[in-house]
């Protein structure tokens, strides 16, 4: 499903000649039978016409020049330990506060990832991730108020926090007079199977606080560890 939205023109109907050609080529490459064409066209049109914010923001308004697909990012990590990460995310994000603790050994190195889609709308930049999870046959399973459970179960909260930090750093390096509250619009996770094209059903939307991103930034840059070492007179790692 991801490939569909990477290739199609958001501003044209899925039944248009260019988009139909794109969809047919993708179907052929994935060995999908031709009878599925109307289903996929309907899916594309439904997703692109959905008001993501419950109001006016629709992907069908976004021009090709306003979006970046599969944006690669690299985050150098001086040190990252689970207890400190848990403490920061649970303090600043209500979703993380209701999840279990992550457990891993302290790590160093380079974190590499790809954001499905970054797009600009009315001067603000957004992170978007496509999800094909099947949450149930009942449409109510995709109600925005119930998507938090799916997000927490899969720890997508940590994923969008990292994506938000990556975009925050990217914008900070590219935009003159960058201001997080002004320029960063938020994060959308689209559960494609539950979207109806009329409401924000199937859409999870949030905006991490600047305080969270600042502390995450400091954590992976080693500033959090340096501050703790300075206060105690020695360097300690939470393992």
What are the tokens at 107?
């790590």
Separation of CA 88 from chain center: 19
Identify which of 14, 62, 55, 7 has the alpha carbon closest to the alpha carbon of residue 29.
Answer: 7
- HSE (CB half, 13 Å, CA atoms) of 129? 20
CA 75, CA 81: separation in Å to the nearest integer? 15
What are the tokens at 198?
């009329």
- Catalytic residue status for 129: yes
**Using CA of residue 48, residue 51, residue 52, residue 56, what is the dihedral sign?**
positive
Catalytic residue among 45, 81, 116, 129: 129
Residue 235: exposure state from Cβ atoms within 10 A (0-12, 13-18, ≥19): exposed
Q: Which residues are catalytic?
A: 129
């Amino acid at each position: 499903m991801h490939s569909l939205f990477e290739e199609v023109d958001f501003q044209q109907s899925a039944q248009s000649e260019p988009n139909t050609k794109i969809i047919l080529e993708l179907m052929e490459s994935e060995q999908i039978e031709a009878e599925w064409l109307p289903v996929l066209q309907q899916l594309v049109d439904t997703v692109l016409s959905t008001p993501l914010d419950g109001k006016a923001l629709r992907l069908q308004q976004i021009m090709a020049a306003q979006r970046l697909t599969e944006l690669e990012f690299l985050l150098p990590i001086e040190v990252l330990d689970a207890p400190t990460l848990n403490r920061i995310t649970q303090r600043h994000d209500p979703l993380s506060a209701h999840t279990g603790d992550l457990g891993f050994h302290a790590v160093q190195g380079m974190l590499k990832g790809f954001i499905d889609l970054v797009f600009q709308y009315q001067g603000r930049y957004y992170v978007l991730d496509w999800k094909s999870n099947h949450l149930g046959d009942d449409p109510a399973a995709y109600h925005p108020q119930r998507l938090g459970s799916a997000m927490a179960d899969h720890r997508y909260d940590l994923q969008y926090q990292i994506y938000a930090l990556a975009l925050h750093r990217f914008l900070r390096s590219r935009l003159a007079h960058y201001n997080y509250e002004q320029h960063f619009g938020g994060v959308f996770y689209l559960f494609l199977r539950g979207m109806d094209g009329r409401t924000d059903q199937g859409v999870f939307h949030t905006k991490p606080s600047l305080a969270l991103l600042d502390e995450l930034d400091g954590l992976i840059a080693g500033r959090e560890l340096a501050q703790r070492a300075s206060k105690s007179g020695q360097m300690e790692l939470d393992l």
